[in-house]
């Protein structure tokens, strides 16, 4: 049991630099819960909240949704990133999706966008 939703705890979203930034957008959390339920498998959060300093240090986009608590890079246990992204596009068309080889970026910005950074 999580402390912010059924399956998620705030510490999973916290900035990896240790600064304590751990804001989580409610809609993002709802979408992640839906993904967890649909695949009936744990959703692993690789990266969520990032303070501006940490975001810059790791080469994140200058206006990254991670710095607003509105994004997460995720893996679903034993499910390919492509299948996860395809599900999100189908079920949550208002979400932004970034496709990567080993994870899926999801965010809940106002105007959705999609990108593909998978190796060819």
The three-class DSSP label of residue 107 is strand
Mean pLDDT, residues 35-49: 98
Alpha helices by DSSP H, the chain: 10-13, 26-39, 52-57, 81-91
Residues 41-56 as b/e (b if ≥16 CB within 10 A, e otherwise) read eebebebbbbbeebbe
Q: Which residues contact 45 (CB under 8 A, 6 or more apart)?
A: 8, 12, 13, 32, 72, 73, 74
Specify the CATH number for 10-114; select among 1.25.40.10, 3.40.1550.10, 3.30.1380.10, 3.40.50.300. 3.30.1380.10
Tokens of 24: 């989580």
pLDDT band with cut points at 50, 70 and 90 for residue 59: very high
Neighbours of 89 (CB within 10 A): 14
What is the domain partition of the chain in residue ranges?
10-114
Q: What confidence tier does 24 reach under pLDDT thresholds 50, 70, 90?
A: very high
Q: Name the average pLDDT for the chain.
A: 96
List the end-to-end C-alpha distance of the chain, in Å, as a whole number.
39
pLDDT on residue 2: 82
For the cut 90, the answer to whether the pLDDT of residue 120 exceeds it is: no
Q: What is the mean pLDDT of residues 54-77?
A: 97
Provide the whole-model pTM. 0.95
Closest CA to 84 of 43, 119, 28: 43
């Amino acid at each position: 049991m999580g402390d912010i939703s059924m399956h998620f705890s705030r510490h999973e979203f916290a900035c990896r630099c240790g600064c304590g930034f751990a804001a989580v957008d409610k809609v993002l959390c709802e979408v992640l819960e839906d993904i967890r339920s649909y695949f009936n498998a744990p959703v692993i959060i690789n990266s969520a909240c990032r303070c501006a300093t940490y975001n810059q240090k790791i080469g994140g986009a200058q206006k990254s949704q991670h710095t607003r608590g509105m994004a997460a890079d995720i893996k679903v246990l034993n499910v390919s990133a492509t299948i996860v992204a395809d599900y999100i596009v189908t079920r949550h068309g208002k979400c932004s999706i970034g496709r990567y080889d080993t994870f899926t970026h999801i965010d809940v910005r106002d105007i959705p966008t999609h990108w593909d950074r998978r190796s060819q």
